[in-house]
Amino acid sequence: MKKNNLFVQAIGKFLLGVILIGLLLFLPAGSLGYWQGWLLMGILFVPMFCAGLVMMSKNPDLLRKRLNAREEEQEQKMVVKLSGLQFVAAFVVAGLNWRFDWYVLPDWVVWVSAGLFLLCYLLYAEVLRENTYLSRTIEVQENQKVIDTGLYGIVRHPMYMATTVLFLVMPLVLASAFSFLIMLLYIPLIARRIKNEEKVLEEGLEGYREYKQKVKYKVIPFIW
């Protein structure tokens, strides 16, 4: 029964996401002919659906964690709200950009960005495979251990490495330079999230302080 409930919850959130992103893109665009919008939805939701099926069959606990978005940390609640507003603004502006032909990026930028998006999705999947403690909220879980191998031996937050690139190329897939400028605000937001997350992990996860000494970079090797 629990697995059936998890499946219903996952499908419900998936369909809600499809509908919401579709409305944010195509209503401002004023047309279903916004092909870059369809491209983004395809490369975003088809892999997401497949990943959900894999987690459902192989690791339902991980899927449950990924579906839980209720933050307990007050600072993280603010970051989540600001990120949500940023995404809404970026998608709406992308649709308006296409509708009024403000500055539509060339097709080659769209396709190169789509390829980069899919590569980063594979990186995202690898992070999920390496770390089964990954929830969407900032917390220290029961029996959680520090992961320091694979991608976690290169940077401390490979999930944010993948998602930062994913989010930054989304506006380029949508052919909107203005939306890209809006999405750049994600960088200071994720930096604030990481700062608070590391504080929580240092206080509650045994061995995390030593791990920080071992792996120097947070998101980008040799840079950040």
Band (pLDDT 50/70/90 cuts) for residue 56 is confident
Helix 107-130 / helix 158-173 crossing angle, nearest 10 deg: 160
Distances (CA, A) of 123 to 87, 120, 173, 184: 22, 5, 18, 21
Alpha-carbon gap, residue 114 to 109, rounded angstroms: 8
Q: How far apart are CA 222 and CA 34, in angstroms?
A: 39
Average pLDDT over residues 6-24: 89
Stretch among 24-28, 130-134, 201-205 having the lowest mean pLDDT: 130-134
Strand partners, 24: none
Residue 1 pLDDT: 43
The pLDDT value recorded for residue 142 is 62
3-state secondary structure 166-185: HHHHHHHHCCEHHHHHHHCC
Per the model's pLDDT, the better-predicted residue between 173 and 216 turns out to be: 173
Query: What number is the average pLDDT over the span 150-172?
Result: 91
* Under 8 Å between Cβ of 130 and 150: yes
Q: Which residue has the higher pLDDT, 175 or 66?
A: 175
| Eight-class DSSP state of 155 | -
pLDDT for the residue numbered 6: 78
Q: Which residues pair with 176 in a beta bridge?
A: 104
Q: What's the confidence (pLDDT) of residue 171?
A: 97
Architecture of domain 2-214: Up-down Bundle (1.20)
At 5 the pLDDT is: 80
Predicted pLDDT of residue 2: 60
> What mean pLDDT is reported for the chain?
86
Other Cβ atoms less than 10 A from the Cβ of 136: the count is 13
What's the Cα-to-Cα distance from 35 to each of 27, 42, 172, 204, rounded to whole Å? Answer: 14, 11, 13, 47
Q: Which helix (H) or strand (E) is 85 found in, with range? A: helix 74-100
pLDDT, tens digit, for every residue of 19-43?
999 999 999 999 999 999 999 999 9
pLDDT score, position 136: 55
Q: What is residue 133's DSSP assignment?
A: T
Q: For residue 126, what pLDDT is reported?
A: 85
How confident is the model at residue 175, as a pLDDT? Answer: 97
Helix/strand/coil for 101? coil
Q: 104 forms bridges with which residues in the sheet?
A: 176
